[in-house]
Amino acid sequence: MRGDLAKAFELANTQVFRRATLSKSYTDLIGRKLFLAILTIRGLGAFALITLGVMLNKFSVARSVMQPRVRHEISRAGVALLPMFLFIALALGFLVIGQTVSALAKVGATNYLGSTMVIVIVRELGPLLTAVLVLARVGTANVIELGTARALGEVEALEALGIDPVHYLIVPRVIGMALGIFALTVYLIIGALGSGYLFAFLQDVPMGPGDYFKQIAEALNWLDFALLALKTVAFGFFIAIVTCYHGLAQPLRLEDVSRVAVRAVTQGVIVCVLVDAVFIVLYLVT
C-alpha cells in the first residue's frame, strides 16, 4: 500500500525543487515551473490509476465500513449542497436565461430558444458551474481534512492497522463527488430552466410554458443525456483526484495545509476547464 502510494508521490515529490534557491532569470523560473507542472501531471495520473485500481480490486472489501462512508460522502457532496444549488438555479434562471428569452423574443428569434438553452445551460454552464461550486465547497474541505489527517499521522495509523488509505479515505470521496456533481447538475439545469421561464413570463414574453419546454425537449437528443452523465462523472472524478492527491500526498506539516489547499483549487479549476474542452470536442465531432 505504502509502496504504491510512494511510487505515485515520488513522481511528484517536488519538495527538492520547491526548496531550490530563487531563480536568477525568467528562463530558470519558466523551466522550473514547467518541470513542476510535468511532475504534478505525472503524479496526478499515477494517483488516478492507483485509485481506479483500488476501486476495482477492493469493491467488496469491508463493505460494512465503506458503505456508510460512501453514503456520507454522497450526502456531503450532493444532498447537503441542494439548498445552495436551488438558490444558484434561481439566480441563473433570473440573470441569464430570463434575459436571453426576453432578448430572443424582442428580435423574433424564439425559434432558436431550445437550441440556445441546450448549448448554454445543459451542455456548458450547468455542468461547469456545478463542478466549480462543488470544488470550492467540498474540494477545499477534502484538501484540508486529508492534509490535516496526514499531518497528524492518521495515514500512518491506517497503514499500521492494515487499512489501505486510498481505499478508506479516497474511494468514498471519489464516488461521492462523481455522483454528487451528476445529481446537482441535473437539479441545477431543471431549476435554471424553470426559473428562467418564470422570469421571462414576468416580463410578458409572448410564449406559453408548453412551447418553451417543447422547444427545449426537441433540441435535446440522446447524446446530450449520455455526454452530460459522462461529463459530470468525469468532473467529479478529477476534482476528487486533484484535491485528494494534494491533501494526501503533499502536506506533511500543518502549516503547509492552507498553501496546498489554494494550489489544489487552482489545479482543480484548470482540470475542469480541460475536461470541458475535451467534451466540447466530443460534441463537435459527434
Task: Please report, as ranges, the residues that interact with other proteins according to CB under 8 A.
Answer: 1-3, 6, 15, 62-65, 145, 148-149, 152-154, 156-157, 159-164, 168, 252-253
CA pair distance 79, 178, nearest whole angstrom: 13
How far apart are CB 166 and other proteins at their closest, in Å? 12
- Strand, coil or helix: what is 218? helix
- Residue closer to other proteins, measured from CB, 170 or 227: 170
CA pair distance 174, 152, nearest whole angstrom: 23
CA pair distance 180, 71, nearest whole angstrom: 11
How far apart are CB 2 and other proteins at their closest, in Å? 7
Q: Dihedral of CA 239/241/244/250: which sign?
A: negative
- Residue closer to other proteins, measured from CB, 56 or 161: 161
CA atoms within 13 A on the CB side of 34: 6
- Residue closer to other proteins, measured from CB, 145 or 224: 145
Q: Which run of H or E residues covers position 193?
A: helix 171-202
How far apart are CB 277 and other proteins at their closest, in Å? 37
CA pair distance 17, 35, nearest whole angstrom: 9
- Residue closer to other proteins, measured from CB, 41 or 65: 65
- Residue closer to other proteins, measured from CB, 1 or 95: 1
How far apart are CB 138 and other proteins at their closest, in Å? 15
How far apart are CB 172 and other proteins at their closest, in Å? 12
- Residue closer to other proteins, measured from CB, 16 or 107: 16
* Burial state string for 20-34 with b = 16 or more CB within 10 A and e = fewer than 16: eeeeeeeeeeeebee
How far apart are CB 230 and other proteins at their closest, in Å? 31
- Strand, coil or helix: what is 19? coil
